[in-house]
Amino acid sequence: MVRVISVVGGFRRFLPLAFIVLAFIALAGVLRPSAAKAQTCGTDYTIKEGETLAQIAARVYGNPAQWTIIFYANQDRLGTNVSLLIPGFTLRLPCVGGAQQSQPLPPIATTPAQTQTPSEQAIFISSMVRRVEFLTADGFAPYTGRSLEAGGMLTQVIAAAMGVVKDEAKGRFDYGVSWVNDWSAHLNPLLLTRAFDVGFPWARPNCDAVNLEPTSQFRCQRFFFSEPLYEGITGLFVRANNSRIKSLRGEEIAGATLCMPAGQPVHELDDHGRNWVKDGKVVLMRPPTVDECFRLLDNGTVDGVVEAELAGRASMASLGLGDKVSMIDQPIALTTYHALVSKSHPHARTILYYVNSSLEKLRDSGEYDRIIERHLARFWEAQAAAPNPTIGATPAAAQKTASPAAQTSSPSSAPAPAPKAKTEAPKKGTQ
């Protein structure tokens, strides 16, 4: 009994000290609220009411213009539905460039491949398709280009995916990538005649739509599309200081002269009731390259250029137009890029199986995200001007009816034809 009383008495003697310690800890928490709110890259972040991607990027990277890094790093979560950016939505905040290198990378980028959960089913290697020849071209940065790291972002995605097939085939499969710098010749004749097996990257029109314009109709009727290689924004670029076009509203677009490189389907300009081309609301110029479109914009011949955001910004930088041209805030569409195989190819389904199965494994392993994040980081670092806010300036808000441009899920823009270069001889493997 004496011993128990002694213990209780001792506890009572230390009780005031314990209260003092707890009070000190609580006070330290009050005096350091910023520690609880600190945001670093390499973590997930739950977006709050009224926040924009640009605001989050400013806190994480110190530059609001880098909101697109967050947007593109969350394609698997946002998909084509920008309206999912609501309070409570969880975003991945990747580490890029030199941003807080001491912070850990996201789990998807650090977990070894063998601990991931890719499809457990091995890729079946057909005895009829032991080699696949891919076809692409220069002039579509950052997606493809021999001057780019690994041939560009999507060239590296294709190479990594085919590397998965090669590893599983154990010497029974190989592939090649050739460059022919005339995009307009890729679909017909090079793919239709099987000079090459697969072309990339090409945008998929909304093949279920009625009254497709001829370019999109041809693509839908004659080719199979792989699962998406990538999704990006298609935007309208205008002169920065003296453009009459400030938005996609019909009254501002009416009577405008727009430029879109030859070979690109124009259905995005008519989607969602716009009917800019169908109803003659705009005049459309179709030069062979995106660079030529921007030259026409710079000299005042056209009022705007319709192009994939990243390809447009790459062209602006190469022509020194970073201070003269900007992309308007509202995107025209979210566009997905694919590999294409002619429907007349006798092994089209097998080739698509190779591409889609290996892409799935690449995504499940985390390697796809690592490739995309690395190329996007280097792309933005190389730009002479930071990107203008588009979706990044949109505050998070409760779910409501989205604008037509935000709701669109039918990709359309195709790569612009690049200046002709020396054509590599087509190579055909054993089929």
For domain 233-334, the CATH superfamily is Periplasmic binding protein-like II (3.40.190.10)
Q: What is the largest CA-CA distance in the chain?
A: 100
User: In the predicted model, what is the mean pLDDT of residues 25-40?
Assistant: 41
The verdict on domain 124-231+335-379 having CATH code 3.40.190.10 is yes
The pLDDT value recorded for residue 167 is: 95
| Residues of the chain by 3-state class (helix, strand, coil), percent to 5 | 40, 15, 45
pLDDT in tens, 52-101: 887 888 888 887 777 777 877 776 666 555 555 678 788 888 776 544 44
User: Are the CB atoms for 135 and 339 separated by under 8 Å?
Assistant: no
pLDDT reported for residue 200: 98
DSSP string, 180-238: -S-THHIIIIIITTTSSSEEEEEEPP-TTSSS--HHHHHHHHHEEE-S-SEEEEEEEEE
Quote the mean pLDDT of the chain: 78
**Per-residue pLDDT reduced to its tens digit, 141-156:** 899 999 999 999 999 9
Give me the phi and psi of 208, to 5 degrees please.
-90, -5
pLDDT tens readout for residues 192-201: 999 999 999 9
- pLDDT of residue 388 exceeding 60, the answer is no
Model pLDDT, residue 20:
44
Is residue 226 pLDDT above 80, yes or no?
yes
The reply to whether domains 124-231+335-379 and 233-334 share a CATH topology is yes
Q: How many residues comprise the chain?
A: 431
- What are the φ/ψ torsions at residue 198 (nearest 5 degrees)? -135, 135
Comparing CA positions, the residue from 329, 256, 300, 392 lying closest to residue 269 is 256
Residue ranges per structural domain of the chain: 124-231+335-379, 233-334
Q: What is the mean pLDDT of residues 21-38?
A: 39
- Whole-number pLDDT of residue 37: 40
**DSSP secondary structure letters along 328-357:** -SS-SEEEEEEEEEETT-TTHHHHHHHHHH
**Span 407-426, pLDDT tens digits:** 333 333 444 444 333 333 33
pLDDT of residue 197: 98
Bridge-based pairing of strands 325-327 and 230-239 is: antiparallel
